[in-house]
Structure 1
Amino acid sequence: MNIGIIGAGAIAHFLLEKINRHRHENLRISSVFVRNKEKYRLLESAYGVSLYTDLEKFLDSDIDLVVETANIDAVKTLLPSVLKKKDAVLISVGALADEALLTEISDLAHAYKHNVHLPSGAIGGLDLLQNAHALGTVTSVSLTTRKPARSLIEEDIDEAKTVFEGTAMEAIRQFPKNMNVSIVLSLAGIGIEKTSVRLVADPHIDKNMHHVEVIGDFGEATFSITNNPLPENPKTSYLAAMSILGTLERIGQKIRIGG
């Protein structure tokens, strides 16, 4: 499968290393869409890709699918055009907190018969949540995210401090760079207005920690994840990067587990 990537940041470099540099058996990144071609010119020789600054030419290149690794603004401005021609994988799922955009993307995907894949990002257990909610009987989903204090607030604190408590919708509006997890959790379950979120700044930790609780007719489930940072960029979750690679590998499989 030939892949086109939007963006050239930490996650894009991770994918280029794992797929192109290591010569993945079934995947190949052939095109990369960037804003500044000269800035990223070395990617062409390092990974054997073609750079594009024109979206239409990028979409018309020899790619089967587009992976967005940029940011929420890129999803809002580029994804509608992408879905008219290609399937897509999104990492900046926080953009989908915009209900109008979510509706537009859903309508375009149906109209042009293309798929939108949302990797689980920095958490897991989404298959359990989706299965538990198959009959609409999950009654409560809550997420508590703890992050190193210095990554959330400027003030010096000695004890953990709750900096946000509310719905997933409010969380992504106030912390657009920190709460993608809450949106993908909401989309898998009871929605962004009903999913409860608490964000804690903790001066005693150096990794992001997520704790999810699900309650419904099926029973109760809890799961916790502690994320190591991506070695090349400590601001990016290693698991979030790996979730994209895992999603790409599963797309081409004839036998799939879970879901």
Structure 2
Amino acid sequence: MNIGLIGAGAIANFLLQQLGENEQNGLCINSVYVRNKEKYEGLEQQFGITLFTELDAFLASDIDLVVEAATIEAVQKLVPTILKQKPVVLISIGALADEPLLQQLNELAIQYNHELYLPSGAIGGLDLLQNANALGTVKEVSLTTRKPAHSLIDQEINEAQVIFEGTARDAIRKFPKNMNVSIVLALASIGFDKTKVRLVADPHIDQNIHQVDIIGNFGEATFIIKNNPLPQNAKTSYLAAMSILGTLQRINDKLIIGG
């Protein structure tokens, strides 16, 4: 499967390295869409890809699927057009807190018969959550995220501080680069306004720690994920990058585990 990639940041480079250096179920990145070709022209020789700055030319290249690895703004501007022509793996899931955009993308996916894949990102357990809510009987979903203080606030602190407490919808509005986890949880269960979020700035940790608590007719579940940073970029979760690679690997699988 030939993959087109939007963006050339940390996650994009991780995917280029993994799919360029290792045989991964016939997966190959051969086209990359960027805003500034000169800035990233070294990628063409390094990974044997072609850079594009025009969306139409990018979509007309030899690609079967597009991976968005850019920003919420890129999702808003580009993905509606892309979904008309190609399936999409969406990384900037926070964009879907905009419900008109979510509805538009869902309708386009149905109309043009193109899948919209949402990787689990920096957490796990979404299969459990979706299964537990198969009858709509999950009652509570809450997320407590602890991150190194310097990644969230400018001032120095000596003790952990709660810097946000509210809904998933408000969390992504206030912290658009930090709360994709809350949006994928909300989409998998009880919605943006019922999913509760607590964000803690902690000066004593060097990992991102997510605790998810679920209560419903099925019983209760709690899971905790402690994420190491991506070696190439400390601001990016290693698991978030690997979740995209895992999603791509599973797309062509005939043996489906979980779900």
TM-score by length of 1: 0.99
**1:127 counterpart = 2:127:** yes
Structure 1 residue runs of 4 or more that deviate by more than 6 Å after TM superposition? none
Q: Specify the alignment match of 1:155 in structure 2.
A: 155
Which shifted more, 209-218 or 155-164?
A: 155-164
**1:63 counterpart = 2:74:** no
Please report how far the alpha carbon of residue 25 of structure 1 lies from its aligned counterpart in structure 2 after TM superposition: 3.8
Please report how far the alpha carbon of residue 22 of structure 1 lies from its aligned counterpart in structure 2 after TM superposition: 2.2
Q: Which runs of 5+ in 2 are unaligned?
A: none
Percent identity over paired residues: 67
Q: Does the residue aligned with 2:3 lie in a helix, a strand or coil?
A: strand
Q: Specify the alignment match of 2:185 in structure 1.
A: 185
TM-score by length of 2: 0.99
Q: Specify the alignment match of 2:230 in structure 1.
A: 230
Q: Specify the alignment match of 1:54 in structure 2.
A: 54
Please report how far the alpha carbon of residue 4 of structure 1 lies from its aligned counterpart in structure 2 after TM superposition: 0.2
For the 8 Å contact 2:149–2:203, the answer to whether it is kept is yes
Which shifted more, 36-45 or 240-249?
A: 36-45
Q: Specify the alignment match of 1:146 in structure 2.
A: 146
- Counterpart CA distance in 2 for 1:98 and 1:36 is 27
Q: Specify the alignment match of 1:45 in structure 2.
A: 45
Counterparts of 1:54-133 in structure 2, within 5 Å, are 54-133=54-133
**1:195 counterpart = 2:198:** no
Please report how far the alpha carbon of residue 157 of structure 1 lies from its aligned counterpart in structure 2 after TM superposition: 1.3
Q: Specify the alignment match of 2:245 in structure 1.
A: 245
List per-residue Cα deviations over 1:189-226 (Å, max 9, x = no partner).
Answer: 10011000000001111110000000000000000000
- Counterpart CA distance in 2 for 1:37 and 1:143 is 39
- Counterpart CA distance in 1 for 2:23 and 2:12 is 16
Report the RMSD for the aligned CA atoms in angstroms: 0.7
- Counterpart CA distance in 2 for 1:187 and 1:101 is 13
Please report how far the alpha carbon of residue 41 of structure 1 lies from its aligned counterpart in structure 2 after TM superposition: 0.8
- Counterpart CA distance in 2 for 1:10 and 1:143 is 25
Please report how far the alpha carbon of residue 167 of structure 1 lies from its aligned counterpart in structure 2 after TM superposition: 0.3
Q: Specify the alignment match of 2:30 in structure 1.
A: 30
- Counterpart CA distance in 2 for 1:58 and 1:19 is 19
Please report how far the alpha carbon of residue 156 of structure 1 lies from its aligned counterpart in structure 2 after TM superposition: 1.6
Please report how far the alpha carbon of residue 21 of structure 1 lies from its aligned counterpart in structure 2 after TM superposition: 2.2
- Counterpart CA distance in 1 for 2:42 and 2:240 is 25
Which shifted more, 25-34 or 135-144?
A: 25-34
Please report how far the alpha carbon of residue 155 of structure 1 lies from its aligned counterpart in structure 2 after TM superposition: 1.7
Please report how far the alpha carbon of residue 112 of structure 1 lies from its aligned counterpart in structure 2 after TM superposition: 0.6
For the 8 Å contact 2:147–2:206, the answer to whether it is kept is yes
Q: Which amino acid aligns with 1:95?
A: A
Q: Which amino acid aligns with 1:193?
A: D
- Counterpart CA distance in 1 for 2:155 and 2:63 is 47
Q: Which amino acid aligns with 1:61?
A: S
Q: Which amino acid aligns with 1:199?
A: L
Q: Specify the alignment match of 1:217 in structure 2.
A: 217
Please report how far the alpha carbon of residue 26 of structure 1 lies from its aligned counterpart in structure 2 after TM superposition: 1.3
Please report how far the alpha carbon of residue 73 of structure 1 lies from its aligned counterpart in structure 2 after TM superposition: 0.5
Q: Which amino acid aligns with 2:208?
A: N
